[in-house]
Amino acid sequence: MYVDGHMLTKPSMDRVSPGPLGVRVCKRDQCFEGYTLFSSAFGYTEYLVDLNGMVVHTWPVTKSQLAEIRPNGNLLVDRYEQGRNGLDELTPDGQCVWHWDGPYHHDFEVLENGNIVSLTSVNEPCRDGFYLSEVAPESLRTDVIVEIDRDGNTVWSFSFADHIDEICALTGLPLPLPHAQEKVDGSIEPVGKADWAHTNTIEVLPDTPLGQKDARFRSGNLLFCFRSLDIIGIVDREKNEVVWAWGLGIIDGPHQPTMLDNGNILLYDNGTYRDTSIAREIDPVSGDIVWQYEDGANFYSPYRSGVQRLPNGNTLICESDAGRIFEVTQDKEIVWDYYSPFLGQGPQNQGRHVYRATRLTADELKPLFDVRESDFVGVGDENRNRLMDFRDVLNYYEDGFRFSTEG
């Protein structure tokens, strides 16, 4: 977000709401039945909890933010390790059976053929014409989508910097970029390395009636999100170009756009400099906002966060800085409200922040429950060792945690 020609910076906030940790609201007859998967941002443990907030499984991970359950019951999880970012596939007991090392950040998705599309970044000298000369940094951190096979080979790539003209034409973003962008070190001086896009989401579009009519939204295209530029967009893989983009001047620091079965796009609009967050559903053809959830100062996370539309029509919202995951109906009633009791571990822990959360059904988790050798749960350390049995967690976390339900 720019004000008076400067890129604003804003510290992340720990929004600790008074009240018990764990589940505060559980209206069982209105919730979508299932389990919620999440980790503390850059933490060493991935958690799976039920609607009562009870932990049913954990995995020791390496400074992870994002994970997904695979059909074989394994966990595919990202890794942020100094000098060794990448992805790990873990068995239910935490053994690593596959890994990929690369300049990974933020998001990935497994394709039907078993390959993986991932966000990566490269550092390059600032390109001519990219910035006005008076604000041009020395170098750019340019985000690149890659597709890798199971052997770690890159079979396709797409550099956003090569397509800045397309993005500007679709959104009205001026080029050369007129303002100093957010720097990796947090400064706003026109020197150093510019994190000009800060791409935080990559999603493969599903098959929808809209995509069958309009090639911009066809199955297999890639939906992306630029936090620094307040833009979401779509890459057409066949044309190898950006074919749709939206959001400039409307959203603020967004995360996790996802295309719904009806062709609309759901996203978390952080409102980084608006000081209030909004979960929005938009019609990508008209640009109209067709549904949104907001709650003023009671709902705000300037960074991270995400949303998931559930099969019963409810929306699961991850409010990262509050360590909060909650479920709302289409009528905007909160029917499940959970505050993570888990502090991140390690020198770069983010308190109780939760990067993203996913609700999974018992059927989706059946492979995990069938193959795991025990229901042992615990918390991990930086070496992916379990620190302790979950029975001892109460003594580990300084605030402890409690469970409560309503309804």
Of 339, 316, 320, the C-alpha closest to 328 is: 316
Q: What integer is the mean pLDDT of 55-78?
A: 92
**Spans of all domains in the chain:** 108-303
Mean pLDDT, range 353-380, rounded to an integer: 80
Above 50 in pLDDT, residue 386? no
User: Does 270 score more than 90 pLDDT?
Assistant: yes
pLDDT exceeds cutoff 50 at 11: no
Give the closest residue to 371 by CA, choosing from 18, 141, 90.
Answer: 90
Residue 335 confidence (pLDDT) above 80: yes
Q: Which pTM value belongs to this model?
A: 0.87
- Mean pLDDT in the chain? 85
Average pLDDT over residues 22-34: 95
**3-state secondary structure (DSSP) of residue 380:** strand
Return the higher-pLDDT residue of 260 and 65.
260
Tens digits of per-residue pLDDT, 202-252?
999 999 999 999 999 999 999 999 998 999 999 999 999 999 999 999 999
Q: What is the pLDDT of residue 179?
A: 64
pLDDT at 374: 53
Confidence at residue 393, expressed as pLDDT on a 0 to 100 scale = 42
Q: Is the dihedral of CA 245, 246, 247, 249 positive or negative?
A: positive
Burial 120-141, CB ≥16 within 10 A → b, else e: bbeeeebeeebbeeebbbebbb
* pLDDT for the residue 193: 61
Whether residue 267 is predicted with pLDDT greater than 50 in this model: the reply is: yes
Q: Indicate the pLDDT class of residue 383, thresholds 50, 70 and 90.
A: low
Beta strand segments in 278-333, E: 278-282, 289-294, 306-309, 315-319, 324-328
Q: For the chain, give the percent of residues with pLDDT over 70.
A: 81
Residue 191 clears pLDDT 80, i.e. is over it: no
Beta strands in 152-286 (DSSP E): 154-159, 193-194, 199-204, 222-226, 231-236, 241-246, 255-259, 265-269, 278-282
Least confident of 1-5, 18-22, 112-116, 150-154: 1-5
- Per-residue pLDDT of 81-99, as tens digits, reads 877 899 999 999 889 999 9
Q: Is 386 helix (H, G, I), strand (E, B) or coil?
A: strand
Q: Please, are residues 35 and 363 in contact by the beta-carbon 8 Å criterion?
A: no
- Give the pLDDT of residue 178: 73
| Residue 186: per-residue pLDDT | 45
* Whole-number Å distance between alpha carbons of 58 and 372: 11
Of the given ranges (64-68, 73-77, 82-86, 319-323), which has the lowest mean pLDDT? 82-86
- The predicted model gives 288-296 an average pLDDT of 97
DSSP classification of residue 130: T
φ/ψ region of 186 (left if φ > 0, alpha if ψ in -120 to 50, else beta) reads left
Given this model, what pLDDT does residue 98 score?
97
pLDDT top residue among 147 and 14: 147
Q: What are phi and psi of 259, to 5 degrees?
A: -85, 130
Compute the distance between CA of residue 88 and CA of residue 103 in angstroms, rounded to an integer.
Answer: 14
Q: pLDDT band at 290, cuts 50/70/90?
A: very high
Distance CA 176, CA 169 (A): 12
